[in-house]
Chains A and B, each alone.
Chain A
């Protein structure tokens, strides 16, 4: 029997997962039960549960429990994982959409005009390397609202890769293609939409893909700071509850959602890609 490359890779993935989980399970020292303890151990409090890294079986159990009822809401400190992730995605998409509304037209302008490029470049270069979380205190003070501040932080971290890639993509459109538009008497707007946009689209989408990745990284940290709701808050809250099972579970969920966001943009990227 011959297997395709993908089948071989899938089998290897499953084997690696199984081996990893078994090793993890085996590495957790078993807690002694009360019967196994000497009287002295019991008297000195040895019977109390020791906090430890939970084994994968426990995490899987938690995942089953959470995912079978993801949207329950039992008060501010006890909401289902679906609700928490929903809050985070809402914040990311809102901040991200606002960033796209600013970055794409501005990037187009910068890409089309060498003057605008030179004039705005120093600002971009200074603002770009700032950690988005560094904006948090200023945002909280000016906006006076933790929810909006988190969205602002997403906005500010998503904007740079989109802006730079849009400008770069637009500036790099081959002059031959622009000449095709010119010899066909296309107006400026028509040229922008029928020639420059499709020509620059792969670069623009790459920037958007980088941005969504960064935004998802940043939202966790931002929610740890602002609190209340969201997957980042959930991780921090479970840490405070010393519920490491939930912490590990939510870490996995962060990874899964991040992967889904990235593959959505990956699909978009393939849709606009072209070979020269």
Chain B
């Protein structure tokens, strides 16, 4: 089998526990992301999601293991991997437009100022920011608008991989919905490869092609890879009526509520921990895939 576009191999992160020993956050995590795929990672706080994100971004070094993108090992941050941080991370002394231009200039040092401005304005318009608002400083923008700027900055750079670290975590539910729609729209236009951390199950189902489920730490691992068998284009009001929606949702809730605890705390003993693929599709005659013992319970819940 050929290597996926992004391949995470035996990634291990250990931190000193403050008592002279070490605490293993996760070990031998192994998974891949295909080109153009939108992957969400779900798990409880403290399972190391953000650490994985920082390693993928090149902002942190794993204790061991490698991340390869397009066949090259990832070391250090790069413009090929754009990041949208939870707290927006806009530079507060620059206007919204200048913040996007900051990224565009870094990506395209040879571009003229007019071209940089035009490109930046185009991407701000894509997330619904036009006119006067783009000349305001981040402090004068609402949380939702700031995150839009941050998303525009990331997309404007055409990174090979876009990393989103709980981008909507600090937003209210209504704003979150609107920006999720905008993210879907801009993503369907660009076919970026996206890797996103979230806490929100519904958000993950709406956005993702595949959801990676992490068990609780310490010794967390990516236990399952759930395919979202709901066709695109998706729409938040229509997907809930799709027969697969609640089947998938219940599976995820069950995992986070129960099995993330049951499966946690098992040392890997040096074996690569690849996630089990789960495919739930109620539209087919019989559910297939590696859900295994989960499926009977799921049917009981959904039927």
B78 within 8 A of A: yes
Distance of A182 Cα from B59 Cα, bound (Å):
8
- Interface status of B93 (Cβ within 8 A of chain A): yes
Within 8 A of A (CB), among B79-115: 79, 81-83, 85, 87, 89, 91-93, 102-103, 106-107
B140 proximity list for chain A (CB < 8 A)? 275
Does A274 contact B92, Cβ atoms closer than 8 Å? yes
- Chain B interface secondary structure, helix, strand, loop or mixed? loop
Closest to B81 in A: A183
How many whole Å from B162's CB to the nearest CB in chain A?
11
| Choice from B89, B93, B103, B139 contacting A176 with Cβ under 8 Å | B89
A183 touches B93 (CB 8 A): no
Rounded to whole angstroms, the CA-CA distance of A263 and B107 in the bound complex is 40
Contact partner of B106 (CB less than 8 A), chosen from A176, A186, A199, A276, is: A186
Cα of A184 to Cα of B93 in the assembled complex, Å: 17
Q: Give complex CA distance A272, B139 in Å.
A: 15
Does A11 count as interface, using CB distance less than 8 angstroms? no
List the A side residues contacting B59 at CB < 8 Å.
179, 182-183
Q: Answer yes or no: A177 CB below 8 A from chain B CBs.
A: yes
Q: A176 to B102, Cβ gap below 8 A?
A: no
Report if A116 contacts B (CB, 8 A).
no
Q: Kindly list chain B residues whose C-beta atoms are within 8 Å of the C-beta of A195.
A: 91
Find residues 175-221 in chain A having any chain B CB closer than 8 Å to their own CB.
Answer: 176-177, 179-180, 182-186, 194-195, 198-199, 201
**Interface size counted on chain A using CB atoms at 8 A:** 18
Residues in B with CB closer than 8 Å to A201 are 93
B77 near A: Cβ within 8 Å? yes
Q: Please tell me if the beta carbons of B89 and A185 are within 8 angstroms of each other in the complex.
A: no
Most chain A beta carbons < 10 A, residue from B85, B93, B106: B93
Total inter-chain residue pairs, C-beta < 8 Å: 54
Q: Mark A154-190, 1 if CB is under 8 A from B, else 0.
A: 0000000000000000000000110110111110000
Task: Please give, as numbers and ranges, the residues of chain B lying within 8 Å of A199 by CB-CB distance.
Answer: 91, 93
Q: In the complex, what residues of A have CB within 8 A of residue B58's CB?
A: 182-183
User: Does the CB pair A198–B93 fall under 8 Å?
Assistant: yes
Given contacts A194-B102, A274-B93, A276-B92, contact A183 B82 (CB under 8 A): yes
A-chain residues with CB within 8 Å of residue B93 when the two chains form the complex: 198-199, 201, 272, 274
Within 8 Å by CB of A275, from B102, B106, B137, lies B137
Q: What is the distance, in angstroms, from A88's C-beta to the closest C-beta of chain B?
A: 35
Complex Cα distance, B87 from A71, in Å, reads 58
Contact A184–B139 (Cβ < 8 Å) = no
Which A residues are in CB contact (< 8 Å) with B107? 184
Is B57 on the interface with A (CB-CB < 8 A)?
Answer: yes
Measured CA separation A195–B106 after assembly (Å): 13
A177 contacts B91, C-beta separation under 8 Å: yes
Distance, CA A194 to CA B106, complexed state (A): 11
Given contacts A195-B91, A199-B93, contact A184 B137 (CB under 8 A): no
Cross-chain contact A276 with B89 (CB below 8 angstroms): no
B residues with a Cβ closer than 8 A to A are 57-59, 76-79, 81-83, 85, 87, 89, 91-93, 102-103, 106-107, 137, 139-140
19 A-B residue pairs with CB within 8 Å = A180-B89, A180-B91, A180-B102, A182-B58, A182-B76, A182-B77, A183-B58, A183-B77, A183-B78, A183-B79, A184-B103, A184-B106, A185-B78, A185-B79, A186-B106, A198-B93, A201-B93, A274-B93, A276-B139
